[in-house]
Amino acid sequence: MKIKNRVKESMAIQRRSNYWLPLYNYYYQEYIALPTIMSITLKTVVFLGSARNVIPPWGGDARLGDRVTNWVKSVLATRVGEIGDENEKVTHDVHIIDPIEVFNKDDGALSYSGGELSAPTFFMGDKLPEKAKALQEIVRSADCYLIISPEYNHSIPPALSSVTGHFGGSLYKCKPSGIVTYSPSPFAGMRAAMAIQVSVHMICTK
C-alpha cells in the first residue's frame, strides 16, 4: 500500500514539474516517471494601499510606500522557499495592483467605478468593462495576496479599502495573505495592520 500511495503522490507531483526520471515500480511491474526537480510558482497579487501622488510641504516622497514596494518586489524576486517532504521549490510570479493606476481616469481598469466604489465588479454583470474583467481574473486566479499599506488616521487607507472592495469575497476565499505596513512613526502602521487583519479574516483568507 505504501508503494501504491507513493505512486499516486508522484502522479500528483508530476503535474507541477518539467523534469523526469524513469523509475521501475515493482508493485505495478512497470516504469513510472518521477520528477527530479520539483517547483511551484505562486501567483502573488500585491495590493498597494496608498494613492498619494503629491509631495508634502515638508518634502520627502510623494508616496513613501514606493520604497517599501520596491523592497518587497526585490525580496519576492529572489525568494526561493521549500515546502513538503520533497523539498519542492517555491517562487513567486508577482502582479502589483496600484490604486493610482487602476483608478486613473483615462485608462484605469476600475475608472468606470472610481475610488468611491460606486460600482463593484460583481454588480456589473455583462456590463463590466474588459479591463476590469482582466483585473478581476488576476485577483481570482491568484494563489496568495500581499497587502502593502500605510496607516491613515490609525486605520485602513480609503484607496486600499476601495480596491479590495471592488471584488467579491469569493475571489479571495481560503487563500493565504500577508500584510506589510509602514509609517514615519516608530509603530510602522501597527494599527492599520490590525484593521486590515479584520478585513482579510472576514473574507476567509488565512
Amino acid at 68: V
How high is the pLDDT of residue 202?
Answer: 76
User: What's the rounded Cα separation, in Å, for the pair 192 and 182?
Assistant: 9
Q: Give 120: exposed, middle or buried? Use CB within 10 Å, 0-12, 13-18, 19+.
A: middle
Burial of residue 177 (CB within 10 Å: 0-12, 13-18, 19+) is: buried
From residue 109, give the alpha-carbon distance in Å to each of 15, 61, 160: 33, 26, 15
CATH classification number, 39-202, choose in 3.40.50.360, 3.40.50.920, 3.30.420.40, 3.60.40.10: 3.40.50.360
Cβ-contact 191, 151 below 8 angstroms:
yes
The model scores a pTM over 0.85:
no
Q: Name the helix (H) or strand (E) containing 60.
A: none
Mean pLDDT by 10 residues, the chain (206 residues): 41 42 50 61 96 92 94 93 78 97 97 96 96 98 96 93 95 93 86 91 68
Could you tell me where the DSSP H helices lie in the chain? 2-14, 65-78, 99-102, 121-124, 130-141, 158-165, 169-172, 190-202
The whole-angstrom separation of Cα 162 and Cα 118 is 10
pLDDT of 36: 53
Residue ranges per structural domain of the chain = 2-34, 39-202
Rounded to whole angstroms, how far apart are CA atoms 164 and 172?
10
Distance in angstroms (rounded) separating the CA atoms of residues 132 and 115: 14
Whose cell is 502573488? That residue is 44
Distance CA(40)–CA(59), nearest Å, equals 43
Compute the distance between CA of residue 13 and CA of residue 6 in angstroms, rounded to an integer: 10
